[in-house]
Amino acid sequence: MSRYNHRNEAPGSMLAWCRMAACCALVLLAGGAQVAAAQDRAADFEALADALDITETVAIMREEGLVYGDQIAGAMLPDVDTAGWQRQITQLYDVERMEQLVLQGLERALEGADLAPMLAFYRSETGQRAVTLELAARRAFLDPEAEDAARAAAVEAAAQKDGPQADLLRLIRRLIEGGDLIERNVTASLNADMMFWRGVMDAGGPGPAGDQSDENELADAVIAGLAETRRETEAWMTAFLLVACGPLTPEQMDEYAAFFETRDGRILNAALFDGFNGMYDQLAYILGHAAGTWMNSAPL
Which mean pLDDT values do the consecutive 10-residue runs of the chain (300 residues) have?
41 48 58 65 93 97 95 91 92 96 97 96 97 97 96 92 88 93 95 94 85 77 91 96 95 94 96 96 96 76
pLDDT at 35: 62
Phi, psi (degrees; rounded to nearest 5) at 9: -80, -30
| Amino acid at site 227 | A
pLDDT at 220: 87
pLDDT at 17: 42
Q: How far is CA 110 from CA 44, 120, 181, 202, 247, in A?
A: 12, 16, 19, 33, 30
Q: Whole-angstrom Cα distance, residue 74 to residue 279?
A: 24
Q: Whole-angstrom Cα distance, residue 231 to residue 103?
A: 30
294 with 85: CB under 8 angstroms? Answer: yes
Report CA 266 to chain centroid distance, whole Å. 14
277 with 188: CB under 8 angstroms? Answer: yes
Please provide the DSSP assignment of 129-190 as one string: HHHHHHHHHHHHTTSHHHHHHHHHHHHHHHT-SSSHHHHHHHHHHHHHHHTTHHHHHHHHHH
Q: In the chain, what are the domain boundaries?
A: 1-41, 53-297
User: Which residues touch 226 (CB under 8 Å, ≥6 apart)?
Assistant: 186, 190
pLDDT at 300: 42
Burial of 107 (0-12, 13-18, 19+ CB in 10 A): middle
- The neighbour count for residue 197, using CB atoms within 10 Å, is 25
pLDDT at 166: 87
- The neighbour count for residue 168, using CB atoms within 10 Å, is 19
Comparing CA positions, the residue from 86, 85, 109, 97 lying closest to residue 61 is 97
Q: How far is CA 22 from CA 15, 26, 31, 199, in A?
A: 10, 6, 14, 59
Q: Whole-angstrom Cα distance, residue 93 to residue 99?
A: 10
Q: How far is CA 133 from CA 56, 137, 242, in A?
A: 12, 6, 11
Q: 3-state DSSP call for residue 89?
A: helix
pLDDT at 38: 66
Q: Whole-angstrom Cα distance, residue 110 to residue 118?
A: 11
Comparing CA positions, the residue from 92, 114, 118 lying closest to residue 279 is 92
